Amino acid sequence: MAGATEANIALLIDADNASADHLDEVLLVLGEFGSINIRRAYGNWEKSSLKTWGELSARHSMLQIQQRDVTKRKNATDMRMTIDAMDLLLRGHVKGFGIMSDDSDFLPLAQRIREEGIPVYGFGTAKAPEGFKQACTRFFDMGALRAANLADNGSNAAEPRTAIDPEVVKLLGSAWKASKRNAEGYAALSEVGQRFNAVTSLSARNYGYSRLVDLVRATGIFDVKVAEGGGLLVKRQR
């Protein structure tokens, strides 16, 4: 959660390759990492397909960056967005970037930003290229975010949670195994989570859970209990 000294976060939106329907969920999640002081949406605003984005830009105080399609099959929007991101990075005032897009062209950008020790939070759909997902510090599936939000609000329209990928279960098991464990075989959830996050950009939210502990419980193979001094402990059961 953001504290007294909130990190300065920049949200850059590829409006040509992102749905405006998920903006509220993106802002809610990204706001947990700091204050979203820079909000920019890129696209050719002369297109009727971006009308909804135009309406949301005013509501959420987003700067619309106009980029016309100068040449067919050449995405000038991506290049403009990348140039602006590098400019913000080199100024040194931004402490985290949110990139809302499904475009694999932003993979090198995410890698370059992270080389400077700055986190990158990607927001896209389940169809986003795996390379881009892994290039981000955290990648959030916007569809899963909406489903989780509806479920938390008790909406009848809530969709069932996404089935947990066996690979995720395997990574959680490996993270537990690599963590320091007590005589009973329990490890601190915080350490397990740290090790898990080191090898994947996936978030518990991608499976409809707002917390890692809820995802761990949902796998059905871990026992979770509260430590005597506070905090949570986990142990693989099978």
Give a yes or no: residue 157 inside a domain.
Answer: no
pLDDT tens digits, one per residue of 200-224: 877 888 887 878 898 999 999 999 9
Which CATH number goes with the domain that contains 95? 3.40.50.1010
Q: Do both 115 and 174 map to the same domain?
A: no
Distance CA 27, CA 98 (A): 9
- Let me know whether 46 and 97 are in one domain: yes
Are 81 and 182 members of one domain?
no
Is 95 inside any structural domain?
A: yes
pLDDT category at 11 given cuts 50, 70, 90 is: very high
CB-side neighbour CA atoms (13 Å) of 137: 18
More confident residue, 97 or 227: 97
Q: Average pLDDT for residues 20-33, to the nearest whole number?
A: 89
CATH number for the domain harbouring residue 191: 3.30.420.610
How many angstroms separate the Cα of 24 from the Cα of each of 16, 80, 87, 119, 197?
18, 24, 26, 21, 25
Q: Given 122, 152, 182, which residue is the final one in a domain?
A: 152
138 within domain boundaries: yes
Of residues 52 and 3, more confidently modeled? 52
12 pLDDT above the threshold of 90 = yes
Q: What is the dihedral of CA 112, 125, 166, 193, to 10 degrees?
A: 50
Are 27 and 84 in the same domain? yes
* 56-65, 73-82, 205-214, range with the lowest pLDDT: 73-82
Confidence check: pLDDT of 3 > 60: no
The stretch 90-111 carries a mean pLDDT of 94
* Domain termination site, one of 119, 152, 185: 152
pLDDT for position 158: 46
Strands 232-236 and 222-226 come out as antiparallel
Q: Is residue 23 part of a domain?
A: yes
Mean pLDDT is lowest, of 37-46, 70-79, 148-157, for: 148-157
DSSP character string of 122-190: EEE-TTS-HHHHHHSSEEEEHHHHHHHHHHHTT-TTPPPPPPPPHHHHHHHHHHHHHS-B-TTS-EEHH
C-beta separation of 178 from 196 below 8 A: no
Split into its structural domains, the chain has a count of 2
Range of the domain at 147: 8-152
Interval 119-129: pLDDT, tens: 999 999 888 99
| Single residue among 96, 122, 152 that ends a domain in this structure | 152
Model confidence at 2, in pLDDT bands (50, 70, 90)?
very low
> Is residue 3, in this structure, part of any structural domain at all?
no
pLDDT of residue 154: 52
| H-type alpha helices, the chain | 23-30, 51-59, 76-91, 107-115, 130-135, 142-152, 166-178, 189-199, 212-218
pLDDT of residue 48: 81
Indicate whether 165 pLDDT > 70: yes
